[in-house]
Structure 1
Amino acid sequence: MRRVYVAAALFSLSAALPVLAQPAALDNGIADIQREWSIIQYQAPEKTREDRFAVLSTKAQALADQFPQRAEPHIWAGIALSSWAGAKGGLGALGLAKQAREQYEQAIAIDPKALQGSAQNSLGVLYFKVPGWPIGFGDDNKAEALLKEALAINPDGIDPNYFYADYLVQKNRKADAAVYLERALKAPPRLGREIADAGRREDIAKLQQKLP
């Protein structure tokens, strides 16, 4: 990377500036999308979420197009699409889910450890939430494998522990689910993700009510 900066500087300072600005633009873009997603998911009225996630998906896709070789914007493009699909519901959401799957797969191909395995975690959720064949591409075996892969990358994270517990509850493996919910509650706070963390803890409390 240093050679790139030096080569650009040899031609002109102005040519180097876009290269230097890219990481900040990516980080700021991701932070903005994360914050907006949290507000829509946990604070916006439910009836407004479909339209707002649609707008967020456009913004996330623009960032992914700007940085196609970085995994992080593809992950957030997938999350925005998945959330839009969830808010939309019904068979009309299946096309959005397929687009989200493509984004996660691109992210994994670029960097499987990006955002602490968030692509595997989110893709695993898709596989167990989407209906199976012949309607959709849902697959419980793929779901569990991906969720476990995400946990292996980020064993203490709130999201991978919560979503694996959610999967286990759906499979009536509630004793196992309790262990992962406890781990999720002990997860360290994420800087800049305070709204998301608070909302996820509410999700955990709701899921715990389904346990014996």
Structure 2
Amino acid sequence: MKPLYRLFPLLFACASLPAFALGEAGQARLHQLQERWAEIHYQLPEKQRETAFAALAGEAGKALADEPKAAELHIWRGIILSTWAGAKGGLGALDLVKQAKAELEQALALDPAALDGSAYTSLGSLYYQVPGWPLGFGDDAQAELLLKKALALNPDGIDPNYFYGDFLRRQKRYPEARAALEKALAAPDRPDRASADAGRRAEIRRLLAEVKENME
């Protein structure tokens, strides 16, 4: 049985509907969710994160109530729920990751390409981090399939390369993991995501050090 690892911070073939254009107000709310997530995940003391993520999930829910067809908001509610699960830990987090999975699947049904395929990235990360049957839905083969779909849409992105590198590391495929993580580290900065990029690069460097140590 796999442990429930800390999850970050977004499948089956779905028929995609026409993409919903997120309005200016929705874009502002999305940016607020992204910034608060990075602040909680990378700056807040660990013992305060569970409560903070619970509150942020509520804010994401309110945003979705106003724009339920916005794939971007479904993605970010899924990301928030999954990182809340990581902060909570244990079997009590399984319900949260199942909710996150549902949000990400809904995002894929609405627009698989939203946010450069972030739903594939986040869903793939869930599949390799949660326990498998009978407790959860974890499945390494499905995880790799989803992560490769994410990379097909965003081959140079920091997140798809990071999560694929982490997956490969856990599979002990160290040379491949090193290549993916080095590509993640070299990814271009994202507009208005400086805090998230800084935190992610710190995580990448830690994983790279571990991978290189295992290759020696």
- Partner of residue 81, structure 1: 81
Distance (whole Å) between structure 1 residues aligned to residue 97 and residue 157 of structure 2: 24
- Partner of residue 199, structure 1: 199
1:62-211 matches, cutoff 5 A: 62-211=62-211
Q: What displacement does 1:25 show?
A: 1.0
Distance (whole Å) between structure 1 residues aligned to residue 121 and residue 186 of structure 2: 18
Structure 2 unaligned blocks of 5 or more: 1-21
Q: What displacement does 1:147 show?
A: 0.5
In the TM superposition, what whole-angstrom CA distance separates every residue of 1:101-138 from its partner, at most 9, and x where no partner exists? 00000000000000001001000000110000011111
Q: How well do the aligned residues superpose, as a CA RMSD in angstroms? A: 0.8
Q: What displacement does 1:24 show?
A: 1.1
Moved over 2 A (4+): none
Distance (whole Å) between structure 1 residues aligned to residue 63 and residue 119 of structure 2: 16
Distance (whole Å) between structure 1 residues aligned to residue 92 and residue 200 of structure 2: 27
In the TM superposition, what whole-angstrom CA distance separates every residue of 1:161-209 from its partner, at most 9, and x where no partner exists? 0000000000000100111111111111011100000000000011011
- Partner of residue 42, structure 1: 42
User: Which structure has the highest helix share of the two?
Assistant: 1
Distance (whole Å) between structure 2 residues aligned to residue 37 and residue 109 of structure 1: 24
Q: What displacement does 1:64 show?
A: 1.4
Task: Count the aligned residue pairs.
Answer: 191
Distance (whole Å) between structure 1 residues aligned to residue 182 and residue 209 of structure 2: 13
Distance (whole Å) between structure 2 residues aligned to residue 124 and residue 61 of structure 1: 22
- Partner of residue 55, structure 2: 55
Q: What displacement does 1:62 show?
A: 1.2
- Partner of residue 4, structure 2: none
In the TM superposition, what whole-angstrom CA distance separates every residue of 1:60-91 from its partner, at most 9, and x where no partner exists? 11111211111000000101100100000000
Distance (whole Å) between structure 2 residues aligned to residue 116 and residue 169 of structure 1: 24
Q: Percent identity?
A: 55
TM-score, normalisation: structure 1: 0.89
Structure 1 unaligned blocks of 5 or more: 1-21
Please tell me whether Structure 1 or Structure 2 has the larger radius of gyration of its CA atoms: 1
Distance (whole Å) between structure 2 residues aligned to residue 149 and residue 49 of structure 1: 30
- Partner of residue 6, structure 1: none
